[in-house]
A and B are shown apart, each in its own frame.
Chain A
């Protein structure tokens, strides 16, 4: 029997095809926005937490510049970090070990394909042990750098560079060109699960310095001795660097950050992003809901006579309610389900484009499903409105 009501409702939806589709489109956009934006927002958070966790709480990062906005500000500042800074940092009490690295985007050629990829100058001296200990620089095949590689044209590839980036797999022993210089591959890293480390080409630091014509470090990392607070050690490093670089407190041309600081700073930025995303999503949803309400109210007004007739020929309030509920819910459900699929696809697309692992997990479509619940509620209200109409008034229309 319920199928009769579905049939009546479906006929109603199909009778007003264009309007139904436009309503569905409105819902679709709203739900897609919610699912994709919330997925991307939460995915970003997860990915950053994951990356920071991998670095570890006992790590300290030093970059040039005031550092308020991270390495980007560091790269445009005139202040530079050099071997002197590294030495001072390594000699600071409480620092167990550390390393300085240099990053530059370079032209990489393999076969006939050319890509622009981050090249990392990675230490070959004893400080390389710091890098080798980090979980995201582990080797899957081949080997790490050794002291002998200091000035050689050898390279270690991030997982995705080796497996995906150039269409075919690059293996240990293959040759690639970095800024037109030939390099031999001596190692491929294990999958790190973070874009920064899976999409990197490592070459010996000294080689990188010659190639890029600079003596600087982009970042200096330090590991804090067991049992000490990273914050305290970071303060000591700051103090010593101020003295070395001859700057006053508060006017530093460098920044020292612990993992905790980094999480805090990123969380603030992320929260803003999340608020913006959530607001956009909420507005889209609201518009979608209003779309359904508008369509259905217009439909009820147009069909007052039909409602009157249905009642005259024996339809109870419940019957009328059910027909309009189903009709309205159909618009919400079709729009909602397509919207969830679209949102999911959009989030996946964003993941693909920005490379950072967004972790679009299925449970984030909750947002989409809660919309469907809202749509059902609205439908129930609209159905109620239609069913309570007085048959005599309806017939008089």
Chain B
């Protein structure tokens, strides 16, 4: 039986308008990501990495082409429908951690569940387990301003796991960390993949990309090598 890809991009184009100039960020991307894969999307600045990630992560829809999530075409969905999918199926990890500064670690982890209407007790219980999983159970009451870079990124990973998504998308997750801390973060992703999560890391760094089982090289909005 042929496996259905979690994400399938078919001839995806993304064109931005900057004033009068049209910028082609993506030029006909074809890509399939299967359950359990660990993929790195590698490319230099301006290659279209982030745009690819936004499309894979259902944050944006293509100008042209099709995007299938679990076999369902999502390229024509509106913002609220996309938000619903993101909340359930995708977990994001960003370079700048992007935690909500007013909330504690545990509240940040529980936040995605608020939007999925998970009851409060259940939310906090699950957030606690997730923080334990990333080794931060002692820091759950701390605000982001009281945590180190590595700790922030671990909270962010726990948050990405909140609604038990199939796909974890990480955009330069070690970009703001020293190499030792970065390594530990990458080990967490490796472990998550071993546990069955599909992981996609976007990076410019080939050393980081080497952690992945499969590397996709992007240049000028096109895939040049798989």
Contacts and interface: CB of A to CB of B under 8 A. Distances in A.
Contacts of B100: 8, 306, 309-310
A373 B94 CA distance: 40
Contact of A305 (B57, B98, B120): B98
A79 B173 CA distance: 94
A90 B163 CA distance: 96
Contact of A392 (B54, B94, B96, B159): B54
Interface string A224-243: 00000000000000000000
Contact of B87 (A12, A15, A313): A313
Interface stretch (B108-116, B131-139, B196-204): B108-116
A395 B159 contact: no
A314 B54 contact: no
B59 interface: yes
B88 interface: yes
B152 to A, nearest CB: 13
B59 to A, nearest CB: 5
Interface string B50-66: 10001001011000000
Interface of A: 1, 4, 8, 11-12, 14-15, 305-306, 308-319, 391-392, 395-396
Interface in B68-122: 79-80, 83-84, 86-88, 91-92, 94, 96, 98, 100-103, 111-112, 114-117, 120
A309 B98 contact: yes
Interface of B: 50, 54, 57, 59-60, 79-80, 83-84, 86-88, 91-92, 94, 96, 98, 100-103, 111-112, 114-117, 120, 159-160, 162-163
Contacts of B86: 311-314
A317 B80 contact: yes
Contact of B59 (A8, A14, A316, A392): A392
A319 B115 contact: yes
A14 B101 CA distance: 12
The 7 closest A-B pairs by CB, nearest first: A314-B87, A11-B102, A313-B112, A314-B115, A15-B102, A309-B98, A316-B83
Nearest to A311: B83
Given A15-B102, A391-B59, A392-B60, A313 B84 contact: no
Contact of A317 (B60, B83, B117): B83
A313 B111 contact: yes
A308 B98 CA distance: 9
A303 to B, nearest CB: 9
Nearest to A314: B87
Nearest to B99: A309
Contacts of B101: 15, 306
A1 B92 CA distance: 24
Given A314-B83, A316-B115, A395 B102 contact: no
A144 to B, nearest CB: 73
B218 to A, nearest CB: 17
Contacts of B88: 314
A310 B86 CA distance: 11
A318 B80 contact: yes
Given A309-B94, A309-B100, A319-B115, A314 B163 contact: yes
Contacts of A4: 114, 120
12 contacts: A309-B98, A309-B100, A311-B83, A311-B86, A313-B86, A313-B162, A314-B88, A315-B115, A316-B84, A317-B83, A391-B79, A395-B59
Contacts of A316: 79-80, 83-84, 115
Contacts of A11: 102-103
A312 B102 contact: no
B106 to A, nearest CB: 13
Contacts of B120: 4
Nearest to B86: A314
B92 A312 contact: yes
Contacts of A14: 102
A315 B101 CA distance: 17
A37 to B, nearest CB: 38
Contacts of A318: 80
Which residue, A12, A313, A317, A395, has most C-beta atoms of chain B within 10 A? Answer: A313
B83 A395 contact: no
Contacts of B111: 310, 313
Contacts of B159: 313
B109 to A, nearest CB: 10
A315 B162 CA distance: 13
Nearest to B119: A1
Contacts of A8: 100, 102-103, 114
Nearest to B87: A314
A1 B116 CA distance: 10
Contacts of B162: 313
Contacts of B80: 316-318
A317 B160 CA distance: 20
Nearest to B98: A309
B200 to A, nearest CB: 14
Contacts of B115: 310, 313-316, 319
